[in-house]
Structure 1
Amino acid sequence: MAAFSTAPDPYILVLTGTGVLIALVAWLPLALKRLPLSLPIVCLVIGYALFSLPQVTFEPLPMAYPVVTERLSEFVVIIALMGAGLKIDRVFGWRRWAVTWRLIGLTMPLSIAAITLLAVWGLGLPWPVALLLGATLAPTDPVLASDVQVGPPKTGEEDEVRFGLTSEAGMNDGAAFPFVHLALALGLLGSAGKPWALHWVTINVLWEIGAGVLGGYAIGWIFGWLTFHVPVESRLAKTGDGLIALAATFVSYGLTELIHSYGFLAVFVTALSFRHTHRSHDFQREMHDLTEQIERLAMMVVLILFGGALVSGLLAPLSWRDVTVALAILLIVRPLTGALGMIGLRAAWSEKLILAFFGIRGVGSIYYLAFGLNHMPVQDGDRLWAIVGLVILLSVLMHGLTVTPIMRTLDRSQGRDPDAEEEPEPTEASPARSNDAPTSAAAR
């Protein structure tokens, strides 16, 4: 009789762990709904505990796996951008999106400038590296900010604060890219004596932003037409399969990256355009729900690995100056630049304070730093990872512990019950097939 092996099969362990993770993805948001605790904090704790076990010898340090880090974080961000765009109910418009333009056009550039100066004067980093750090840490994160974003499509959970933070997170991941390229230009093209300034303005700013917006809009319109407006029997909405949103995400990002434009910006614009083709269709909710599930699962994987990186010594290179600057970025730079961007906005002072405070840093910062370091040699790369890692850790803890009480207080101040149950889904008695009927011009 053959003896049983005492060592567990790694494949079985991975399979079991994946099952547990998927169960947590479904259950934790419900369990944490009323607690002053966020899902990212729980993921960090799980990752830290898991990688602290002596049996786990793998060290998921981002500098040890630069390409994997860039690609994994890139995947999570584009899924989050599609989900963010699909759930915005507000029709696009310059005046209706005034809070967004303030956060993108004022708060983010001011944040990049402030962080760059702090990195030069406080940390002694060269200007290109300091600018890369500023562009990495200025954008708010579309992945970890779900607790301060608008609710699913057509739920009515879209006040000015939630809309502002959702639209900011959707747009500034693409809007920060020109500054990343400027850092690379200063570090590479400038040192080689090439006309980097003209290249940066014409290609990295004008072309890549313009092509990203136009390409994203066109792809969203095409998917919207195929999903909602072709003959009924061949509409993609008839499939009832939310994977259509995933297809739109990959096509949008892939095609716009092929023409060397900003894929992050394109994906968000694609989602807005896709949603606008038929704003009231129930299929919008199905697409959003699927993207949200995939995003949450991928986010948990990244944060568990991030917790493992903390165990493995990610923060070891930090000095007291680095810690001081990291605290200043979260406690001074974002609140101050956010408040400056809100000057003149017609909103209650409490709403402006919340908008200024919740500058959540996360997976997007991981991507930008990985991208920058993969395209520009930096001697102090481990130190940059330590600084960015500390800012993300502090943001997860600070914003995660305060988001539930702050947003519940906001809801009560605006006459909403934060404990109210969501409206029930339409039953068979309310004909869902009406969504496949021809729509009026106003609905479109």
Structure 2
Amino acid sequence: MDLKTLHKRHVLTPWVAQGGHEAPVVVRGEGVWLYDREGRRYLDLSAGLVAVNLGHAHPKLVRAIAEQAARLAYAAPGLFHDGRALLGKALSDLAPWPEGGRVFFTPSGTEANEDALKFVRHLTGRPKVLAAYRSFHGATHASASLTGENRRWPAEPGVPGVVHFFAPYPYRSPFFTEDPKEEAWRALEHLERVLLHEDPQRVAAIFLEPVVGSNGVIVYPEGYLEGVRALCDRHGILLVFDEVMTGFGRVGAAFAAERFRVVPDLITFAKGVTSAYVPLGGVLVREGLARFFDEHPLPTGHTYSGHPLAVAAGLAALEAYREEGIFARVRSLEGFFREALASLVAQHPLVGEVRGLGAFYALELVKDRKSKEPLSPWHAPPSPPMRALLRALLGEGVYLMAKHNVLLVAPPLTIREEEFLEGVERLSRALWQVEVEAL
């Protein structure tokens, strides 16, 4: 029995019906490329799940993990540990708070959001939290409840006290406007109305992706994040930025909070902190709030909190980001990325819009640009044309993350310009193949 057959027989693959699902058996990675067992290579144009920021097989991370494994592979989270201390300090230095902060380490981003939910309720004594409908905060029970899109449905009934609201989405405005300023104003008015109906004195926090991640890389109109911050300040509500995807250079800064100059009270992170080499997430809490736990027991814990191999990878990743000037590099290449992808709009009628910033972009695919009918509905499994496109992409040697009718173009931050252009060309060929059948 070969490896593909073994995998299909014994492994459950996330988010898809198992029957008929096909994928290459990848066995090696190098830079921006993945290699299957036959030696065929695939350009990893989504950095895995928007995670492998430094590319595959980065020597600094590989060496750090191996050296740590030889020295100490596990330490109970109640013990102090050198790597935890050093990474906690480094992350606090990256955070947007002048007074600094403290970090609670988790095994992943979904647990980071679960724990942030516990923190804000303990810190405020308030039971409710708000989160946007078009969002993803994780798949465990509480983070799935925070999630606004259809991946929360299998976890329902969810945890009590989570209320959803509509956030801006300029391409498909839920507020019936094509003016970005009007979109931001109406969205803030809507949010304040939801708050008033829920009693803002009972709301502990608002959870928000500062750039919507897997649900379409939606960059909010200017003034929206600032307005949410002002609403939180007015009502004594904490603001939590879910930076699991946007953190560690993805938007051309350490965090989107820095890029947009909007300061939250807590930041959840994962993925890029180790370039996904070892699972690690966490909650950054500004110092003024973290002091609460000096006198009150921290209300959570994990066996793998601050795992030695993970924090070693995190320290090596932060060192690589700094030595290679990755954050500034992404910012300088932003125009190049955007221009290269914008060429697809002119060439392909399936591409309704290209949007994003830094090294984080989405192609929204439509059956018709005028009606904006999605190529694949948001509330159902992928349509036949969308499935055909994903097959065509693999046939062209490209891996791209897809959600609903959106392709996420978010390559490793180390990608060379010529590699990115090659990826865009391969993507274009895959689109042509599907357009012949779909249009």
Q: State the TM-score, normalized to the length of structure 2.
A: 0.27
Q: Counting strand residues as a fraction of each chain, which structure ranks higher?
A: 2
- The structure whose residues are more often helix, as a share, is 1
